[in-house]
């Protein structure tokens, strides 16, 4: 095994353990995670596989195919995260706005009482 293969497999395995521990997953999640990691490890140990699949899809190299898939995947993740941040921003705005209006109402009630 080459050095990069050891590094990649170690990285994948550690990520899997981290995700499983951090997110308190159920069995189904663990199985899905295992499948992804297994696929990752297989491609690391047998890079020729990626090339075969890539050729079938019309891509020259296996690594190129992995790159393309990663780009699309990351784009999807980025868009989803941006949407969530935007939603969060709107929630914060609503809370701050409501607080500011409630404070004024409270002040006006106190002024009226005095």
Partner 1 sequence: MENSSVYIIVPVFNEGFTIRKVVVSLLEYGFSVIVVDDASTDNSYSSIKDLNIHYLLHEVNLGQGAAIQTGIEYALTKGDAKIFATFDGDGQHRVEDIMEMITPIEKNEADIVMGSRFLPGAFSNASFIRKTAIQTARIINFLFTGLWLTDAHNGLRVFNRKTASLLDLKENGMAHASEILFRVAKYKLRVKEMPVHILYTDYSRKKGQSIFNGIKIFFDLVFNRIFD
Binding test (CB under 8 A) with partner 1, winner from 6, 67, 71, 103: 103
Nearest to 1 by CA among 53, 61, 54, 47: 47
CA distances in angstroms from 3 to 6, 7, 8, 10, 93, listed in the order given: 5, 6, 9, 11, 50
Output 34 or 101, the one with its CB closest to partner 1: 101
Structure tokens at 97: 């706005």
Q: According to the binding rule CB under 8 A, does residue 24 interact with partner 1?
A: no
Contact range with partner 1 by CB under 8 A, out of 22-30, 36-44, 66-74, 97-105:
97-105
Closest to 41 (Cα-Cα) out of 64, 19, 8, 18: 8
Shortest approach of partner 1 to residue 21 CB, angstroms? 33
User: Which parts of 55-94 interact with partner 1 (CB under 8 A)?
Assistant: 82-83, 86, 89-90, 92-93
55 or 99: CB nearest partner 1: 99
Q: In this structure, are residues 43 and 49 in contact, taking their beta carbons and an 8 Å threshold?
A: yes
Distance CA 14, CA 4 (A): 15
Q: Which is nearer to partner 1, 55 or 91 (CB)?
A: 91
Give the nearest distance from C-beta 80 to partner 1 in angstroms: 10
């Amino acid at each position: 095994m080459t050095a990069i293969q050891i590094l990649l497999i170690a990285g994948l395995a550690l990520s899997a353990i981290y995700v499983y521990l951090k997110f308190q997953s159920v069995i189904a999640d663990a199985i899905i995670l295992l499948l992804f990691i297994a696929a990752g490890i297989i491609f690391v140990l047998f890079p020729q596989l990626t090339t075969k699949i890539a050729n079938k899809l019309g891509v020259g190299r296996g690594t190129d195919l992995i790159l393309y898939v990663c780009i699309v995947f990351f784009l999807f993740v980025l868009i989803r995260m941006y949407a969530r941040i935007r939603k969060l921003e709107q929630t914060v705005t609503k809370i701050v706005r409501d607080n500011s209006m409630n404070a004024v109402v409270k002040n006006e009630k106190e002024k009226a009482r005095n």
